Amino acid sequence: MAVRIGKQTVKLESKPRIISTYTVVGPKEGQGPLKDEFHNVLEDDMCNCESFEKAESKMHYIAVQGCISNAELKESDVNYIFSGDLLNQLFSSSFMARDISIPYIGMYGACSNMTETLSVAGMCVESGCGKYVIASTSSHFSAAERQFRMPLEMGSQRAPTAQWTVTGAGAMMVSSVQEKDKPYITYITTGKVKDYGIKDPNEMGAAMAPAAVDTIRQHFEDTKLQPDYYDLIVTGDLGKVGKSITEKLLLEFNIDIRNNYIDCGDEIYDDENQGTNSGGSGCGCSASVMGSYIYKRLLNGEFKRVLLISTGALLNSISPLQGESIPGIAHAVAVEMGES
Amino acid sequence: MAVRIGKQTVKLESKPRIISTYTVVGPKEGQGPLKDEFHNVLEDDMCNCESFEKAESKMHYIAVQGCISNAELKESDVNYIFSGDLLNQLFSSSFMARDISIPYIGMYGACSNMTETLSVAGMCVESGCGKYVIASTSSHFSAAERQFRMPLEMGSQRAPTAQWTVTGAGAMMVSSVQEKDKPYITYITTGKVKDYGIKDPNEMGAAMAPAAVDTIRQHFEDTKLQPDYYDLIVTGDLGKVGKSITEKLLLEFNIDIRNNYIDCGDEIYDDENQGTNSGGSGCGCSASVMGSYIYKRLLNGEFKRVLLISTGALLNSISPLQGESIPGIAHAVAVEMGES
């Protein structure tokens, strides 16, 4: 049974383990600084499909199958799959789930999907409902651009604060089986929607930063831990601009994370040479970085404790046209490698 | 701790109780056969807002606040809200959640949202993570029509098999507190995505029926119960066409539910006099019928055991244009009033 700690945090007592992961990214991500970390780098981001959306769904499918295979399981062993993506009505997740035979729960938290699905997968295992449960998500640059911003064919100039949606998918297998050489979920801090009035869809980092700050602050308040408890505090896709805002805002609460803080969107590209402006974004960003680079270093003991905070901007293509600002959300999941 | 039963079903042992509900519907639903059942019938489906989407979000907010109030709780007592709707990127749920101060998890299962959110709320309570947890959903006829089909201004003629999206929202409070005069969740059967190749968005009932059949069949196979165990078996929004297909397909598996089976979409309108063709649809359909008519009869003892199966069609506005058929999904939740 989980224990509620403070206002927004729970401690999972059953140690749901992340027993496998799989990540797949597009060619651009495969040329970035983390190129040797991913399980699979696509040569062609169309993935032999007819549309960007179908390509994203296929990539999502590859990640899920890879995750099942890495756990040395079959589809029929898996009790639930919790999945989400950025596309309208979860095109990528729904059509991925059509091609597998696993009970499916669709989720939407924009780019916070990785920790949103991972949180619920953790709860599901903790409740005894699931023995093997997948959390997965995906995003695709070209599908996201034409849905949220402009058709690529227009060749619009990108704002300096704009981020580049990661073409990538990640899946993680959460299990009650105590494989002691695998990391487990300790704390879950579920975020509230925060809106500080940012209206420019090219300022997603700034729109999401207050949500990240709120969830990180609440996590430390609830757990009474200090930031140096973690070897690594990782936000999902705030990019350079959002990362810098997050650091500064947290200092106002006397929380200094600068020594052990990275942002997946800041790590995945070489912004200067890859033209990605403020860095990476999209659900696939934290999914592919957590499922590869960070997960590998949890396995080899380089990191013992990691706090992952994926961040989402809950706009759609018509909400800014109706005069609405961009609400943000962030969910935190703590993952640890322990002795027991 | 929940117990896994068969392939897709879990039995919750902690008896998460549905301690309150609240339903709000539009004027058309307020003139239908269930008009005296709902908690709130709007005089104007614009809800004093500037757009259909904002009206839906406000209606969703009214349902959530009503549910909290009916449980005699405050916002700060509620640990999580699991919400979904039909709009792109969950416009209704996200903006509803912006205006409340409760940790928020967005979910998408199309019109299966009510049992999808209720399933996860049940797991969340079972795990010990939540003491008070809300499951909620909404839909709005005018917002759905312009997003998925045609702008209302076009005055398109509706197909005989077409359904009418319910303008309505429903919220349920699930709790570990054992209020013994309230019904509790016993079984959850989570569905897989099923696609039988229906490509016409005016045939949603037919697209969703195979998913309903699969989940109902699996529920009875897993639990070894007979259909007459339940006083009522209720699908979400198959409408007349889908209901009839479901009954027939289940007979092929020797499952006869005809004696105790209703469909919320078939109940909510007087199709002949209200021009709703094959009946109601939308997340708000099963949410508003379950949260009012059925919940009241669980409370007064008229029904002891109810199996609710909300059904969703996982298309979006571009998937049919890309040649895709319509995948369906259905999740079942069993609710019982017991002595203990």
Percent of chain B having pLDDT more than 90? 90
Name every chain B residue with its beta carbon within 8 A of the beta carbon of A124. 120, 123, 127
Mean pLDDT over residues B264-291, rounded?
96
Residue B109 domain flag: yes
Q: What average pLDDT does range B85-90 have in this prediction? A: 96
Q: Please state whether A304 falls in left (phi above 0), alpha (psi between -120 and 50) or beta.
A: alpha
- Residue A46 in contact with partner chain B when CB distance is under 8 A: no
Write the pLDDT tens digit of every residue in B146-199.
Answer: 998 888 888 888 888 889 999 999 999 999 999 999 999 999 999 999 999 988
> What is the per-residue pLDDT for A50?
96
Please enumerate in sequence order all residues whose Cβ is within 8 A of that of A115, keeping only pairs 6 or more positions apart, or say none: A109, A236, A286, A308, A309, A310, A330, A331, A332, A333
Which tens digits make up the pLDDT trace of A264-288?
999 999 999 999 999 999 999 999 9
CA gyration radius for chain A? 18
Nearest to A90 among B108, B129, B131 (CB): B108
Model confidence at B37: pLDDT above 90: yes
A157 interfacial to chain B (CB closer than 8 Å): no
Average pLDDT of the residues in B88-92: 96
Cα of first residue to Cα of last residue in chain B, in angstroms, is 18
B163 plus B19 within the same structural domain: yes
Which tens digits make up the pLDDT trace of A2-58? 999 999 999 999 999 999 999 999 999 999 999 999 999 999 999 999 999 999 999
pLDDT at B58 over 60: yes
Lowest mean pLDDT among A44-53, B94-103, B125-134, B192-201: B192-201
pLDDT of residue B339: 67
Suggest the residue from B123, B132, B194 to mutate for an interface test with chain A (most A CBs closer than 10 A). B123
Q: What is the pLDDT of residue A285?
A: 98
Based on the domain organization, do B149 and B232 belong to the same domain? no
Res. B22: pLDDT tops 90: yes
pLDDT in tens, A210-261: 999 999 999 999 999 999 999 999 999 999 999 999 999 999 999 999 999 9
B9 interaction partners in chain A (CB closer than 8 Å):
none
Q: Which residue of A has its CA nearest to B119?
A: A105
Polymer length of chain A: 340
Q: Please provide the DSSP assignment of A5-28 as one string.
A: ETTTEEE-SS--EEEEEEEEE-TT
Please judge whether A87 and B129 are an interchain contact, meaning their C-beta atoms are less than 8 angstroms apart: no
A16 and A149, same structural domain? yes
Assess if residue B155 is contained within a domain: yes
Whether A58 maps to a domain, the answer reads: yes
> Are both B63 and B212 inside the same structural domain?
no
Of A1, A50, A94, the CB nearest to B193: A94
Do residue B89 and residue A324 have CB atoms under 8 angstroms apart?
Answer: no
Q: Answer whether residue B340 shows pLDDT above 60.
A: no
What confidence score (pLDDT) does residue A339 get? 67
Chain B residues in contact with A123 by the CB 8 A cut-off are 120, 123-124, 127, 129
Closest partner residue to A104 (CB to CB) among B101, B315, B329 is: B329
Nearest CA in chain A to B98: A193
Which pTM does this prediction carry? 0.97
Taking a C-beta distance cutoff of 8 angstroms, is the pair B67, B173 a contact?
Answer: yes
Asked if B91 and B170 sit in the same domain, the reply is yes
Q: Kindly state whether residue B291 falls inside one of the protein's structural domains.
A: yes
Helix runs in B175-294, H state only: 204-223, 239-252, 264-267, 271-274, 283-289
Domain-located, residue A180:
no
Q: What are phi and psi of B246, to 5 degrees?
A: -60, -45
B contacts of A331 (beta carbons < 8 Å) = 105
Last residue of some domain: B175, B195, B216?
Answer: B175
Closest listed residue to residue B141, CA positions, set B245, B308, B268, B234? B268
Residue A340 has pLDDT above 70, yes or no: no
For B212, the token pair is 């309903």
On whether both B188 and B171 belong to a single domain, the answer is no
Asked if residue A199 belongs to a domain, the reply is yes
**CA gyration radius, chain B:** 18
Q: Minimal Cα–Cα distance from A314 to chain B, Å? A: 6
Confidence (pLDDT) at A338: 82
What pLDDT, on the 0 to 100 scale, is given for residue B155?
A: 86
Residue B238, pLDDT score: 95
Same-domain pairing of A12 and A110 = yes
Task: Give the residue numbers spanning the domain of A300.
Answer: 185-336
Interface touch B102/A3, C-beta < 8 Å: no
Q: Do B248 and B134 share a structural domain?
A: no
Question: Between B89, B110, B127, which is nearest A315 by CB?
Answer: B89
A78 touches B at CB < 8 Å: no
The gap from C-alpha B160 to its chain's centroid, in whole angstroms, comes to: 23
Which chain A residues are within 8 Å of B191, Cβ to Cβ?
103-104
Find tokens 């990214």 and name the residue: A25
Instruction: Judge whether B4 lies within some domain.
Output: no
Give yes or no: residues B94 and B149 share one domain: yes
Model pLDDT, residue A149: 85
* pLDDT of res. A224: 98
Q: Give me B266's structure tokens.
A: 């078939």
Chain A residues inside the 8 Å CB shell of B319: 53, 89, 91, 95
Looking only at Cα atoms, what is the longest distance across chain A?
Answer: 55
Q: Nearest CA to A333 among A166, A79, A125?
A: A125
- B63 pLDDT exceeds 90? yes
Does A142 lie in the same domain as A124? yes
Judge whether B82 lies within some domain.
yes
B175, B199, B233 - which closes a domain = B175
- Please indicate, yes or no, whether residues A147 and A208 belong to a single structural domain of this protein: no
Q: Do A123 and B119 touch (CB under 8 A)?
A: no
Structural domain ending residue among the three candidates B175, B198, B213 = B175
Total structural domains within chain A: 2
Asked if residue A18 and residue A164 are part of one domain, the reply reads yes
Residue with tokens 């299966």: B112
Q: Which residues of B touch A6 (CB under 8 A)?
A: none
Q: Is B107 touching A (CB cutoff 8 A)?
A: yes
> Would you place residue A202 in the very low, low, confident or very high pLDDT band (cuts 50, 70, 90)?
confident
> What pLDDT, on a 0 to 100 scale, did the predictor assign at position B154?
86
Instruction: Please answer yes or no on whether B1 and A128 come within 8 Å at the CB atom.
Output: yes
CATH number, domain containing residue B214: 3.40.47.40
Q: Encode pLDDT of B250-265 as tens digits.
A: 999 999 999 999 999 9
Provide φ and ψ at A306, rounded to 5°.
Answer: -130, 135
Kindly report, residue by residue over A146-182, the tens digit of the pLDDT. 998 888 888 888 888 889 999 999 999 999 999 999 9
